[in-house]
Structure 1
């Protein structure tokens, strides 16, 4: 894409082996960016990197491992130059009742989604200060519309929203811009895996029509790439989520009303059980760091 401000700039994307992260890497590369792809699954990262039309680098690193992130940052600086933008996209999810969920897996979701985002920001902050760069935090409708049976995911996404707000206030005078991307259901293997579980599928089906729609990953990635170009403070995919943000105080009572009506019926049909980490990304996280 001609004359993009990202042309010949280095952009880091975490969780880039698949899903939104891989699609985001492709969208950024089409704008001329040099993309560094971080995550598990080196072969998948390398395959995405090899498909890009601009110089790209695949670096295997766990976003909860500070030493691994620091090593990755050094490699990226040496090979592609200091990053001008970082997209904190890495995330995992688990469904199921909180009371029946093992706390090791619950903590892992929060560790990857929240602590991993903070470690990513901390690792690359010196580069972003040097380049007057941009940090985009991938959040979710779950940041302000918490749902039952997704307690760890909702807690982590609420946390990253608050973290990004705090970071923006701290770094604005240094020229670093911070944005938050609020995503609704996106067609990734994590969401497709969630739909295999009747209770999660049914709960989504009882959401208002716009809120239960699943959006193509490439469409979402294009919106996010434009947000990186524009250094957007907030981006909503789809755009109507901005209205839900305004009305966020009304969401918990609405969710409670639906849950009181639907959860007893669904539990009578099939007992609620933890799903384990969802999708191929969840499997990759399990393989890389097995839970006790």
Structure 2
């Protein structure tokens, strides 16, 4: 049985979804620098190839995380190329503004397809490979799982569901020796955050471009590396997120109260505004809805 240092990722074999940019790309590069062997999947081949080159020509594959057949096939291939798997990081995600009443249901469907089903398919495919005494799964979640903002209903619902998946699979694989962690982040300096509130509707509610201010990405990536090295149950960034999580009901009441004035006008704007899909991977192709 291999025994890794609790303070190092050196020697670990780690698979990262949504690795073409943002959190996924930064984490891959840092893990490689720390001596880990990484495998990458995502939707942007050129960017993935660049990240892979920076990670010692790491194996990578194009993969639509919301397609279970692709996820099964790609993860099996990458695990084979790594020669096993010690950790999987379910990072791929999308976000887009959505007024729940009068908004486009396609936004909700696409968000849940990537952020919930994509996490489930990843855990389902990687689970058998990490079911050992040094195995670990890390789900990149958000403070949005605990505190819910107007226009972020699709994203919040998806992250709350991803949190539930993580808590559930933790109990289901504990007997194998594997562990599961969840990362709770506020607004970090990534492409997703840079565009996430860049809408007239969001500014009508907030009176500014972000909720809590954009935090640097570096400390979050450091936290993820430590979480993987020590197989931690939870990691947060910025630090104050750790204080907000146990106070969810109170924080939610404060948010509801502080944002109440601009919501009605913002809803009117949001129903006609066409915001970009904010993501750490490009928008997925439109899927024709099946008849019911």
TM-score normalized by the length of structure 2 = 0.89
8 A contact 2:103–2:271 mirrored in 1 = no
User: After superposition, what is the alpha-carbon deviation per residue over 1:64-123, rounded to whole angstroms, capped at 9, x for unaligned?
Assistant: 111111211222122112110011010001103112322122111011001100110010
Match of 1:72 in 2: 74
Question: Counterparts of 2:169 and 2:270 in 1: how far apart (Å)?
Answer: 41
1:256 counterpart residue number = 256
Q: How far does the alpha carbon of each residue in 1:42-72 deviate from its partner, in whole angstroms, 9 at most, with x for none?
A: 11101111012x4511111111111111211
1:9 corresponds to which residue?
12
The correspondence of residues 86-235 of structure 1 with structure 2, limited to 5 A, is: 86-130=88-132, 132-201=134-203, 203-204=205-206, 212-235=212-235
CA RMSD across the alignment: 2.2
Deviation at 1:271, TM superposition (A): 5.6
Q: Gaps spanning 5+ residues in structure 1: where?
A: none
**C-alpha displacement of 1:272:** 4.5
Which structure shows the higher helix fraction?
1
Within the candidate set 39, 58, 61, 1:59 is matched to 61
Distance 1:82 1:205 in 2: 49
Tell which deviates more after alignment, 126-135 or 241-250: 126-135
Report how far residue 218 of structure 1 moved.
Answer: 3.0
Asked if 1 retains the 8 angstrom alpha-carbon contact of 2:201 and 2:270, the reply is: no
Whether the 8 Å contact between 1:191 and 1:279 is mirrored in structure 2 is yes
The 5 Å alignment of 1:19-58 reads 19-52=22-55, 54-58=56-60
Instruction: Return the alpha-carbon distance in structure 2 between the equivalents of residues 31 and 168 of structure 1.
Output: 26
Cα 1:280/1:175, change in 2 over 3 Å = closer
CA-to-partner distance for each residue in 1:5-58, whole Å, 9 max, x for gaps? 422221011111001111111111111111111110111101111012x45111
What corresponds to 2:286 in structure 1? 290
CA distance in 1, matches of 2:104, 2:258: 26
Residue segments in structure 2 that go unaligned for 5+ positions in a row: none
How many residues align? The count is 283
User: How far 1:205 sits from its partner (Å)?
Assistant: 5.3
* 8 Å CA contact 2:187, 2:213 repeated in 1: yes
- Equivalent residue for 2:236? 236
Structure 1 residue 194, shift from structure 2 partner: 2.4
Q: How far did 1:279 drift?
A: 3.3
Q: Is the 8 A contact 1:94 1:275 kept in 2?
A: no
Q: In 1, are the aligned partners of 2:219 and 2:237 still within 8 Å (CA)?
A: no
1:278 corresponds to: 277
Offset, 1:267: 5.5
CA apart distance, 1:131 = 5.8
